[in-house]
Structure 1
Amino acid sequence: MSFWNTLKQKLRSFIPVSRTYMDNKLRELEKENKRQEKILLELQKNSQSMLELKEYVSQELHRRDDWGKRAAQVQREAKERQIWVIKCPAPEEKKIRWGDYAYAVALKRYLDRMGMYTIIDLHEDWDCEVNADVVLVLRGCEFYRPDRRNTKCLYIMWNISHPEMVTQEEYQLYDIVCVGSRHYARELQAKLTVPVYPLLQCTDTELFYPDQEAECSRGKDYLFIGNSRGVARPCVLWAAQNKLPLKIWGAGWKAMLGPDKTMVQDVFIENSQIPALYRSARVTLNDHWKDMLDYQFVNNRIFDALACGLPVISDCCDELREIFPEAVLYYSNKEEFHQCVKKIENNYEEVKAKVDEQWPLIKEKYSFEARARELVEIVEKHLQK
């Protein structure tokens, strides 16, 4: 029996009022009690929010106070080396979940080997000024304004994704613009006054590479690594409808897939774990953000998978087809997707052989080592003018 029902019975035994009156009064008391409980809960939430805000402000003040010390330390440690700062849009707390962070880490490794002193600034530190020689902004979904108080610095934008978010005015803020599409680079070269270079996405060939021993244990799994983005990504839904042996790593899929949610293995997988997955699977599915496809930006999942000898079923643009005319299986609709699946199931060895042929090309032209070398050459060319 609930507290209020017990109280009602006790009160009725000694208070000389009608049952209806008593019940009404008790209901009012119960409502008031719930209202006060709700107010107390809100106060507790607000108190917790205030504590979190206070902690955040304290951390930010400490971070900004540390910028000056950090700048002096960088100047001391760099000595005669060029100081390069990679502006990575990933937030500190969630950096491990951002592909941009893995991208920045790989690029830093190769720039360091070429004699640069390289720093990665996560999004919270984008306003930190360390008197850099080169600031390289990985432009995805976050805007950065070059700090022209540093007059010696070269500011480079490398637009690797979300090109529809970048205006011509933003490109013009930089000294050098690099974009992840040859087609779009040619278009921008005709519109901008700043130098524009095509610089496609790439892969870390020290992490993603063929492994002959692993080839012996390839399974039958179809893979998809990526979040649902809150939209019905067609290749995933078609694979689920076809009851293919699909395994998914990404957030937002369980609600969307319903009875097929068992395909979801986890909401996230670390970048370092992906190569082993690629070497154990039969094929991976791939698609692009619509604007990347429209502007002909090839995502790095293509290069990662092919470097591991994994066939890819992907949507298509002219740029991608020019790079890999036969090594990737292309679809633009459901029927073509089914044809790609048939090729995987009926002619796998033939498909796989074409994939394996791409390793020398990827290592030479689509690796972070190649991109670091191109970036250094671009800077040297600009400095010689």
Structure 2
Amino acid sequence: MNLRTRLLIIGLLALATASAQVSASGSRIKDMARVQGARSHPLYGYGIVTGLAGTGDAPGNKATRQSLANLYSQFGVSIPSDSVSSRNVAAVMVSAALPAYARQGDTLDLTVTSVGDARSLVGGMLLITALQGPDGKVYALGQGPLTVGGYKYDANGTLGQKNHPTVATVPGGASVEQEPLHADLGKRDNLTLSLMEPDFTNAARVADAINAAFAGAQATPTDNGGVTVRVPASHQGRFVDFVRQIEGLEFQPDAPSRVVVNERTGTVIAGARVRVSSVAISYGDLKISIATDNSVSQPTLIAGFQPGVTTERVSNSRVDIEERSGATLVTQPGGTVADLVQALGRLRTSARDIVSILKALKAAGALHADLIVQ
């Protein structure tokens, strides 16, 4: 055994040991659940982007011209909307996410999208825009230069484009003006944890981990997606500290058996515990080739002087049928999808054939997992 082989084995053993340690430590409740009510709120608004180098909305866009006329009127400039030029201006929609416990003066990132026929937002400046929630109240004001991750240039029928130049961002471009309504955390005596992936087993394990860590706490799973926790007397008035300790608790999550396949790219992703029943798999490939040979029949010199004798074009077609030897694979009891994919790979099975075989296994009832085809 050479040095390179020894180093490879040592590296694999170290990787296996690290994986076992991570599996034994489990996952934090913070990564699997969130406190119900602590969520972000969507904001949106209608705004105007200026400073575009002739890539804004077309002059015939009535909505943009009317918006500019309304803007001018706020500064004492009265001008009909038909006289407004909008080639350097674009009408946009602005969106942001307001955190649950945002404070006045906090900044938010903005996403700006064109709603007209602007060709590009590169170099634009978003004018002050009111961002409102679903209740119609204004919670933030946005303004700032746009950051566009693409471009679009065209001249004389030649077009060059990268990504989507009609979508832009304004990092930290909004300022929170009104705080969202939220309950007083210091006075709460109970809370509800919402699992990001609803599962009855995980809900019960989260409740068990909380009850084992806190004396006097009563954690009860209400359904597959929620766990109700009563704050113990020792943590009354210290709600934030109690939640911090809960989020740091670890438990062993139970993941459902799933196999995700992408037919476009041939990607197959399966969990380590996805099992395949004992089954025989046989597949082959039939290749048909049709070739045509064109030739010219030229008359002889003597026959060429006879009337009615001309040069003729002759086409000869042949059909070749090649049936490649198929392969047969028998899976063993207790085998996994990973074992099956490796075996098919050794047989030089294409990725798309592997996807088709997995779909056939699911139809035959031999694949004990949910098959998700993208």
TM-score relative to the length of structure 2: 0.20
User: Which structure features the higher share of helix residues?
Assistant: 1
Higher-Rg structure is: 2
TM-score relative to the length of structure 1: 0.20
User: Which structure features the higher share of strand residues?
Assistant: 2
